[in-house]
Structure 1
Amino acid sequence: MNSVDADAAPTPRRLLRVHEAAGALAISEAMCWSLIKTGRLRSIKIHTARRVPIEALDEFVDQAVA
């Protein structure tokens, strides 16, 4: 018997690629990289990959409108 529950909802993604984060913020990928490099948008590095936590998008927007 398969241990995967066919009715289970998929696990939501917690990390976005930089181009996906840029799309979610409606900015260019270059602008997103700039925000990461200046520390205004939090990101993490996993080996050679840069990822943006979903919560970092909310943090950035909250700071931008404050």
Structure 2
Amino acid sequence: MDGTTPKALYRIPEAMRLLSLSRSVIYELIRSGRLRTVKEGRTRLVPAKAINAYLELLEQESEKGVAA
């Protein structure tokens, strides 16, 4: 890869940087089902689609808060 192609899967530390969240918050989101992950062997990975879905969820919740 040349570095310009977006990744399909992110390790937890990469997801932490992308979302600007701490490790404990990331794992709480995973436990609560708000951030989906997959496992490859012993490695837990966050699909790019799951990160986008979480961001969309935050936007929807924000819009609901404004409308209320």
Q: Distance in 2 between matches of 1:39 and 1:46?
A: 19
SS of the residue 1:45 aligns to = strand
- Computing the radius of gyration over CA atoms, which structure comes out larger, 1 or 2? 1
Letter of the aligned partner of 1:14 in structure 2? A
1:38 and 2:32 matched: yes
Letter of the aligned partner of 1:33 in structure 2? Y
Q: Distance in 2 between matches of 1:19 and 1:60?
A: 16
State the superposition RMSD in angstroms: 1.4
Counterpart residue number, 1:4: none
Q: Distance in 2 between matches of 1:22 and 1:38?
A: 16
| Alignment coverage as a number of residue pairs | 58
The match for 2:50 among 50, 53, 56 is 56
Q: Distance in 1 between matches of 2:24 and 2:13?
A: 9
Q: Could you tell me the TM-score, scaled by structure 2's length? A: 0.76
Q: Distance in 2 between matches of 1:30 and 1:13?
A: 23
Cα displacement (A) at 1:33 = 1.0
Q: Could you tell me the TM-score, scaled by structure 1's length? A: 0.78
Cα displacement (A) at 1:32 = 0.5
**Percentage of matched positions with identical amino acids:** 33
